A = this chain, B = another copy of it.
């Protein structure tokens, strides 16, 4: 008898038939005696439909009203899923983010969860009910509706699991687990049985779209066992867990992540004095632009080149900010490239293995792929390359790190 928090994404609840299928699945868990809390997304297409209505009116819609608008998407799903459960004789009750309540800060369209009231949910569970919560949304201290940003339903699921001390948070999606890399790019990519939170975090943040990064952070922070699995096929999915839980020997590299929506910007000839980095990145941050990789070369002739990457959508805005900053700092010029991609190898195993990075660079060099930027962490090595080489780079690395052979550790 366990308590499961299950999250079903937009495609899993994309039609009335699929909602009925989710209800069947949930009833199965109830019949086995488990308690179930469900977090759901909007029916697929619905959020885009709503955003498009808004954009017909305002090209940059008012953020507070945008949240009022798009939060209706999940509200529709929770009601329909509860009806489907009631139809099956499963007592159920829906909650919007405000009703739970899922307290967030007031950053409309990208709010962060601060607290979750679990008392109502707990009494419903005690009364034998399935609780269905609208994902992606919350409420601020003043009662304004907020949303967590795209993919925020994963975060809702994990945050609920943490607050309720659930036995497992199950993320049902349209893929059957986490793969060594994107199977659309490498056909021999394999499903991983387990992956650590840290690896998943690097995979997610680097463009592996299975889980939202904040959901993984949350799960890692509160040690919520997280399982990604398919809502359409049976199967164990991939368990995301703390290191050391695993009984299987860890491979050096668990997966290859990549992200093609990147752009890089360089401020050339910046005076090499303390405080320059913050003078450059402060205004970027104030413009609400998120920075990914940052590289500063060693100074020569008392100036340095400062390079960083941003999401491609933010490229023009970032360039405008930099032109202004560059003039103030007396830098030489701003150059940029929005046709780049980032490829990363990820694995907790690399902590104890030397030579992982050089093996990566060798593999890329063998394909004549020029490395533009390098960034490393304890469990990953990322390189920025020209976007046109992305697929080639991923396939080469997948082979170089022995991930596409049949006796892969992932099976």
- Residues on A lying within 8 angstroms of B by beta carbon are 16, 19-20, 50, 53-54, 56-58, 61-62, 64-66, 68-69, 71-72, 75-76, 78-80, 82-84, 86-87, 93-94, 96, 98-99, 143-145
Q: Are A68 and B50 in contact (CB under 8 A)?
A: no
Q: Are B96 and A83 in contact (CB under 8 A)?
A: no
Q: Which of A76, A86, A96 has the most C-beta atoms of chain B within 10 angstroms of its own C-beta?
A: A76
Closest B residue to A23 by beta carbon equals B57
Q: Compute how far the CA of A96 lies from the CA of B72 in the bound complex, rounded to whole angstroms.
A: 11
A75 in complex: contacting residue of B72, B84, B143, CB < 8 Å: B72
Q: Are B83 and A58 in contact (CB under 8 A)?
A: yes
Q: Are A66 and B79 in contact (CB under 8 A)?
A: yes
Query: Within the complex, what minimum Cβ distance (angstroms) separates A24 from chain B?
Result: 12
Residues in B neighbouring A62, C-beta threshold 8 A: 82-83, 86
* Given A83-B54, A87-B57, A72 and B65 contact (CB-CB distance below 8 Å): no
* Given A72-B72, A72-B75, A143-B99, A80 and B54 contact (CB-CB distance below 8 Å): yes
Residues in B neighbouring A98, C-beta threshold 8 A: 98
Known contacts A68-B94, A72-B72; can you find 11 more A-B pairs with CB under 8 A? A16-B57, A50-B76, A58-B83, A62-B86, A65-B83, A65-B94, A68-B79, A68-B96, A69-B76, A72-B75, A96-B145
Residues in B neighbouring A94, C-beta threshold 8 A: 64-65, 68
Q: Are B20 and A57 in contact (CB under 8 A)?
A: yes
Closest B residue to A70 by beta carbon equals B79
Q: Compute how far the CA of A144 lies from the CA of B93 in the bound complex, rounded to whole angstroms.
A: 10
* Given A56-B16, A57-B87, A76 and B72 contact (CB-CB distance below 8 Å): yes
Residues in B neighbouring A86, C-beta threshold 8 A: 58, 62, 65
| Chain A interface, >50% SS class | helix
Q: Compute how far the CA of A247 lies from the CA of B25 in the bound complex, rounded to whole angstroms.
A: 69
Q: Compute how far the CA of A62 lies from the CA of B91 in the bound complex, rounded to whole angstroms.
A: 11
A57 in complex: contacting residue of B53, B83, B145, CB < 8 Å: B83
Query: Within the complex, what minimum Cβ distance (angstroms) separates A147 from chain B?
Result: 12
Q: Are B53 and A80 in contact (CB under 8 A)?
A: yes
Q: Compute how far the CA of A72 lies from the CA of B76 in the bound complex, rounded to whole angstroms.
A: 7
Closest B residue to A59 by beta carbon equals B87
* Given A62-B83, A68-B78, A69-B79, A57 and B96 contact (CB-CB distance below 8 Å): no
A65 in complex: contacting residue of B68, B82, B144, CB < 8 Å: B82
Closest B residue to A17 by beta carbon equals B56
Residues in B neighbouring A54, C-beta threshold 8 A: 79-80, 83
Q: Are B69 and A75 in contact (CB under 8 A)?
A: yes
Q: Compute how far the CA of A58 lies from the CA of B82 in the bound complex, rounded to whole angstroms.
A: 10
A84 in complex: contacting residue of B57, B64, B78, B83, CB < 8 Å: B57
Q: Compute how far the CA of A71 lies from the CA of B145 in the bound complex, rounded to whole angstroms.
A: 15
Query: Within the complex, what minimum Cβ distance (angstroms) separates A67 from chain B?
Result: 8
Query: Within the complex, what minimum Cβ distance (angstroms) separates A206 from chain B?
Result: 34
Closest B residue to A19 by beta carbon equals B57
Query: Within the complex, what minimum Cβ distance (angstroms) separates A85 from chain B?
Result: 9
Residues in B neighbouring A144, C-beta threshold 8 A: 99
Residues in B neighbouring A65, C-beta threshold 8 A: 78-80, 82-83, 86, 94
Residues in B neighbouring A58, C-beta threshold 8 A: 83-84, 86-87
Q: Compute how far the CA of A267 lies from the CA of B19 in the bound complex, rounded to whole angstroms.
A: 46
